[in-house]
Amino acid sequence: MMAVMPNQDAKMCCLKITFSFFKTNHQLMCIMIEKYLNFQLIEPSCIVSWIFSPYMLPHFDRLYLWQMLDTTIKFCIKRCDRIKVELEKSKIKLQEKKAQETSAPDPDIAETRKQMTAAAEEEVDHYVKLLEDAERSQKEVFLIVVQRFIMILSDHIMRSEQESRYTQTLWFRCTRDRLRQTLVKYRREVKRYMVTLQTLLFTPEIEHKILECFTQFKGYIA
Burial class (CB in 10 A: 0-12, 13-18, 19+), 72: buried
Whether the pLDDT of residue 5 is over 80: the answer is no
The per-residue pLDDT for 103 is 72
* pLDDT for 207: 93
SS3 string, the chain, reads CHHHCCCHHHHHHHHHHHHHHCCCCHHHHHHHHHHHHHCCCCCHHHHHHHHCCHHHHHHCCCHHHHHHHHHHHHHHHHHHHHHHHHHHHHHHHHHHHHHHHHCCCCHHHHHHHHHHHHHHHHHHHHHHHHHHHHHHHHHHHHHHHHHHHHHHHHHHHHHHHHCCCCCCCHHHHHHHHHHHHHHHHCHHHHHHHHHHHHHHHCCCCCCHHHHHHHHHHHHHHC
Residues 33-53 pLDDT 10s = 999 999 999 999 999 999 999
Amino acid at 162: Q
- pLDDT > 70 fraction of the chain, expressed in percent and rounded: 96
Residue 100 confidence (pLDDT) above 90: no
- Asked whether the beta carbons of 114 and 101 are under 8 A apart, the reply is yes
Mean pLDDT, range 205-209, rounded to an integer: 92
In this structure, are residues 146 and 206 in contact, taking their beta carbons and an 8 Å threshold? no
Mind listing the pLDDT tens digit for each residue in 170-200? 999 999 999 999 999 999 999 999 999 999 9
pTM exceeds 0.75 for this model: yes
Count the residues in the chain. 222
Mean of pLDDT over the chain: 92
pLDDT tops 80 at residue 102: no
Report the alpha-carbon distance of residue 214 to residue 13 in Å, rounded.
33
Angle at 137 between CA 141 and CA 9, to 5 degrees: 70
